[in-house]
Amino acid sequence: MTDDKKILTVNGLEVEIGEERNLLELIRSIGIEIPTFCYHSELSIYGACRLCIVEVEGRGIMASCSTKPEPGMVVHTDTKQIREIRKINVELLLANHDRECPTCVRSSNCTLQDLARRLGVEEIRYKQLTEKEPKDMSSPSLQRDPNKCVLCGDCVRVCSEIQGIGAIDFINRGSKAKVAPAFDQDLNAVECVNCGQCAAVCPTGAIIPKQDREPVWDAIHDPNKVVIAQIAPAVRVALGEYFGIEVGENTSGRLVNALRMMGFDYVYDTCFAADMTIFEEATEFLDRFTKGEKLPLFTSCCPAWVKYAEIYFPELLPNVSSCRSPQQMFGSVAKKTLPAKLNIKPENLVVVSIMPCTAKKYEAQLDKFQTNGVKDVDYVLTTVEVGKMINSMGIKFAELQPSAYDMPMGFSTGAGVIFGATGGVMEAALRYVVEKVENKPLENVDFKVVRGMKSIKEATLNVAGNEVKVAVVYGLANARKLAEKVVKGEADYHFIEVMACPGGCISGGGQPMTSDPEVRKKRAVGIYAADKRQQLQKSQDNYMVEKCYQENFGGKPGSHEAHHSLHTFYQNRSQLFDARVPVLTGSADKRLPITVTICATEDDCPGQTLLGMIVDYIKQNNYSEKVDVAATFTSRPEKDGTICVTIGDRIVDYCKFVNAINTEEQLANHVEFEGIKQAIDSALA
């Protein structure tokens, strides 16, 4: 032992102090697992659950997560007093907890269950004092059960610190304290972007992904339906964890086999659509780069990022690629091409996505991704949901032999596979762009400069004598930093990839839950290993995609047909989550919500006039009892003055008024007002 070493003692063992920021990390580094609810290495230290307590001689009982290791400390991690305190803490949590464990989605993977067993809690000696609260099922992506919340604050901190949103927080005080959206609203009424990171860190199942297994089973068992599946890249390197398989192992072949055993008629690969996304997005980038217009281009694969941009950076929406995500491209192509090939009616084709992401559930239900009232993607299952379905059939997943995807939408390149990890979309696009610009085959398809788990990565590439500046970012709080620089003109990037989840889709809210950062790294390693196992590694070499273009989309990316089916549009949602004031409240059990934006910074806002016109129309047609009309106030209108109107779930950018259009006559002359009246009539029919 040298004099410069800093030593403390843990349970009689001398331990050298390293870079650990607290006793908890130091003690875990020597193989002693200290229990905790509220500690995550990537979040701020909170110290609420008091389960990680240790005894420091001369100082007494202390929370190890918030105590810095110091030389000479003598620490005990398990004494009679510590064990009793931990046991009482868990008992008190269980006393007010919804203990219907057999029916809980998190049963067998619940931290509270594990700790109760580990600490020997065999009875609850305390009475329940809180009343049962209703579940919040409003979100298309997440479901929230306040009765299972243990007030650890993990969801609050990940939403605020990693995503920079704060859609949920602590409200009330004392015994009435709870975690909820602002003013105890439903989750769907606040700025939630559906990323599911709250569900990924929740230790008890108080927030979980919305469950869609039963309607999928119903479709499978319907003899009139042809049910197909698409499997996202990140699913293949995480599903195995659910069945005890090594982290990062590619299980796509076994999953294809399992899905067929479950009753899926055809199984395809979302990577086919990822390759198609590169055809479209890289073509879009080359066009913008050549013209020097609407740069930087932001990727559009992540629906949580897209919604975040719609809420917080509507001025950047012209910079977001108009390409649909691979999920929605696949759905569009499938619904357009498969009915004729399979000789079935279009309404009998059911598309099921298997995704690592909860935001994909939100994306799939958007009106803009429907054709003639039929969804392009009917249902979205998370990785864990499909694991539960496999288990429910008694399939021994680990023992299955691999099976091949169905063609043609089961054929993909390595570029499509790497979409699952941060930097993957950028690298796939660079493989396409560099080869096209330099007009010669790439000698090396790997662009490792955009890989890795650093949250913000920047690179400048020389492509045929041109500088191409790119950035890759994950976590929406980090994305905000880049977006603000772009808005202020402080960044000169050409292309930016954004993923909401840490490390990209591999850490999506629907993946098997883990608090170990090493798991994320191993999943990424599995993604790049899968890339190398593909016969082809550049999207432009996918001849099945080329054939699809020739047969269905005008022969080339960027064509009119391709733009109609493979691209989308975005809406300014910045007004939707500001202050609201009820104007007209109906009395019917089910009422149509209608909102009109009024700008708080303008004395003569046309929104006020428009609101009066809508209320008059409602009263004239005796709709008053069937609607809830509210004014929403915003200080963030577009420069050209968009009035945002919502009718139910539909968002209408009513008009972009010019020259102070603010009279009833002027507003009524706009075609959009007729559309608003028709939308109200249709919704209440």
**Can you list the domains of the chain with their CATH numbers?**
7-78 (3.10.20.740), 90-209 (3.30.70.20), 214-566 (3.40.950.10), 580-684 (3.40.30.10)
| pLDDT at 605 > cutoff 80 | no
At position 269, the amino acid (one-letter code) is D
Nearest to 570 by CA among 224, 294, 261, 383: 294
| pLDDT at 665 > cutoff 90 | no
CA distance 432 to 436: 6
For 280-297, what is the mean pLDDT?
93
Q: Which residues does residue 296 pair with via DSSP β-bridges, in sequence order?
A: none
Q: Per-residue confidence at 95, pLDDT binned at 50, 70, 90?
A: confident
CA distance 36 to 478: 27
CA distance 326 to 416: 9
For 406-425, what is the mean pLDDT?
96
Mean residue pLDDT of the chain comes to: 88
Q: What are the Cα distances from residue 229, in Å, to 10, 23, 264, 381, 643?
A: 52, 47, 7, 10, 40
Most confidently predicted of 61-65, 201-205, 295-299: 295-299
CA distance 427 to 470: 10
| pLDDT at 631 > cutoff 90 | no
- Residue pLDDT, tens place only, 469-524: 999 999 999 999 999 999 989 999 999 999 999 999 999 999 998 878 889 999 99
Residues 6+ apart with CB under 8 A from 243: 387, 390, 397, 398
Report pLDDT for 502.
94
Lowest average pLDDT, out of 75-89, 267-281, 336-350, 570-584, goes to 570-584
Classify residue 335 by its DSSP letter.
H
Report pLDDT for 449.
94
Q: Per-residue confidence at 660, pLDDT binned at 50, 70, 90?
A: very low
Lowest average pLDDT, out of 91-100, 278-287, 352-361, 513-522, goes to 91-100
Report pLDDT for 56.
93
Nearest-10 crossing angle of helices 326-342, 270-291:
120
At position 504, the amino acid (one-letter code) is G
| pLDDT at 380 > cutoff 50 | yes
Share of the chain above pLDDT 90, in %: 58
Q: Per-residue confidence at 612, pLDDT binned at 50, 70, 90?
A: confident
Is 0.95 topped by the overall pTM? no
If phi > 0 it is left, if psi is from -120 to 50 it is alpha, else beta; for residue 28 that is alpha
Residues 6+ apart with CB under 8 A from 527: 233, 234, 237, 417, 418, 420, 421, 424, 506
For 19-27, what is the mean pLDDT?
89
CA distance 122 to 433: 62
Report pLDDT for 684.
86
Report pLDDT for 513.
87
For 202-223, what is the mean pLDDT?
94
Report pLDDT for 658.
40
Report pLDDT for 575.
63
Residues 6+ apart with CB under 8 A from 353: 229, 230, 232, 270, 327, 330, 331, 360, 364, 377, 379, 380, 381
CA distance 652 to 654: 5
The structure tokens listed for 612 are 């009066």
Report pLDDT for 670.
60
Q: What are the Cα distances from residue 658, in Å, to 30, 525, 605?
A: 68, 54, 12
Report pLDDT for 667.
62
Report pLDDT for 577.
60
Report pLDDT for 116.
80
Nearest to 256 by CA among 244, 269, 247: 269
Report pLDDT for 646.
80
Share of the chain above pLDDT 70, in %: 93
Q: Kindly state the helix (H) or strand (E) to which residue 262 belongs, with its residue range.
A: helix 252-262
